[in-house]
Amino acid sequence: MIREKHFAFLDENSKREIRRALLKAVAIPGYQVPFASRELPIARGWGTGGVQITLSLVGKGDTIKVIDQGSDESVNAVSLRSLIQETTGVSSTIHTAQATLIQTRHRIPERPLKEGQILVLQVPLPEPLRNVEPSEYKTKKLHGEADYSGVWLKMFEDIMRYGQVATDADHPVCVNGRYVMAPSPIPRFDNPKMNGSPALMLFGAGREKKIYAVPPYTKVVSLAFDDYLFQRERFAGKKCRLTGLTNVYLDELTDEKTGEVYYQTNDSSYLLEYLNREKEGETE
């Protein structure tokens, strides 16, 4: 019985097929490229699309960073990182600036990404039209004909009903003036970070078997009306309890002793770097 582990788990033919799908995705920004998603030792819905992309791209010289909900240390981030490291032996970091390959779920890091970096986002539901059309065959046609009236109508109905567009995370974007794309459920706060980003952004949906991409310096516009503008989550009057930062995405937490609600920077490595810079400043 063969018991050795293959480098980066997947067999080479599978990795090559995924890289081909990635090339096509980069060539057609925002277009969902179907691929024959492989099963992984982690469960569907737990990041298998992102992990397949990462495993297909990772080389021995890479430094990876894995985050889940903005944290490098949440259980799923730890679990995915150890799978990648155990099967490749590459080094990892929590520092956004030092990573060549960043796999993330639900967040784009606060520290602006650089040229040459690759951000891999895990996607549960890649189809931005799914809530207006359940059939895959039909949504594929709608994309082909750039018929996005369903999405616009949904937003218009929200305004009629609630006085504003009621999307939360995963607010749809238009990529390169052509395809409407689900940015994976990142908060609206992170949507603008995709526009003109110097880094390559790759999206993997393992269960739904789709790969798509936003190449560097691509125009990405969050859908909105001229008189109802796109709104990010607002943390008006709130700030990070540890750093006082206001221009970051915040977690809402409760102090167990006092019962008081407080806010804290969600991006844990950004928070850590900030605190350490401050501390160095004090000692100098």
Partner 1 sequence: MGYVAVKGGAEAIRESNLLEKYQRCRGGRSVCVDDICGNLKKLVDCVMSESSLYSPELAALAIKQAQGDPAEAVFILRAHRSTLPRLYVTTVTDTSGMQVERRISSSFKDIPGGQILGASPDFQHRLLDYDLYEETCGDARAFQEQYEEEILREIGEEKEKQTGEAGRLPRVVDYLRSQNLIPEPVLSDEAPHDITTEPLVFPSTRSIRLQILTRGMTGAVTALGYAKIRGFGISHHPNIGELRVGSLPLRIASDLSGTREEYYIGEVEATEVEIFMMEEQQEENEKSVLGIGLGYGLCFGQNEAKAIAMSVLEYSMEHPNPRDPTSDEEFVLLHIDAVESAGFISHLKLPHYVTFQSKLDRIRNIRKENSHD
CA distance 198 to 104: 17
- Per-residue x/- mask for partner 1, residues 159 to 198, rule CB under 8 A? ---xxx-xxxxx--------------xxxxx---------
Q: Confirm or reject binding of residue 10 to partner 1 (CB under 8 A).
A: yes
Q: Confirm or reject binding of residue 24 to partner 1 (CB under 8 A).
A: no
* CB 148 to partner 1: min, Å: 20
Q: Which is nearer to partner 1, 41 or 116 (CB)?
A: 41
Q: Confirm or reject binding of residue 9 to partner 1 (CB under 8 A).
A: yes
Judged by CB under 8 A, which of 28, 62, 69, 241 binds partner 1? Answer: 69
Q: Confirm or reject binding of residue 238 to partner 1 (CB under 8 A).
A: no
Query: Cβ of 264: how many Cβ atoms within 10 Å?
Result: 17
Label residue 176 left, alpha or beta by phi (over 0 means left) and psi (-120 to 50 means alpha): left
Judged by CB under 8 A, which of 61, 160, 234, 237 binds partner 1? Answer: 234
Q: Report helix, strand or coil for 264.
A: strand
- Per-residue x/- mask for partner 1, residues 240 to 269, rule CB under 8 A? ---------xxxx-------------x-xx
- Per-residue x/- mask for partner 1, residues 116 to 135, rule CB under 8 A? --------x---------xx
Residues 211-230 that bind partner 1 (CB under 8 A): none
Q: Report helix, strand or coil for 263.
A: strand
CA distance 22 to 28: 10
* Token output for 50: 């992102």
CA dihedral 85, 86, 88, 90 (to 10 degrees): 30
- The answer to whether 185 and 105 are in contact (CB under 8 A) is no
Upper half-sphere CA count for residue 8 (Cβ side, 13 Å): 19
CA distance 125 to 40: 18
Q: Confirm or reject binding of residue 209 to partner 1 (CB under 8 A).
A: yes
Judged by CB under 8 A, which of 28, 62, 63, 76 binds partner 1? Answer: 76
| 118-122 vs 200-205, strand pairing mode | parallel
Judged by CB under 8 A, which of 11, 147, 157, 260 binds partner 1? Answer: 11
* CB 223 to partner 1: min, Å: 15
* CB 114 to partner 1: min, Å: 22
CA distance 86 to 183: 29
Judged by CB under 8 A, which of 25, 26, 31, 38 binds partner 1? Answer: 38
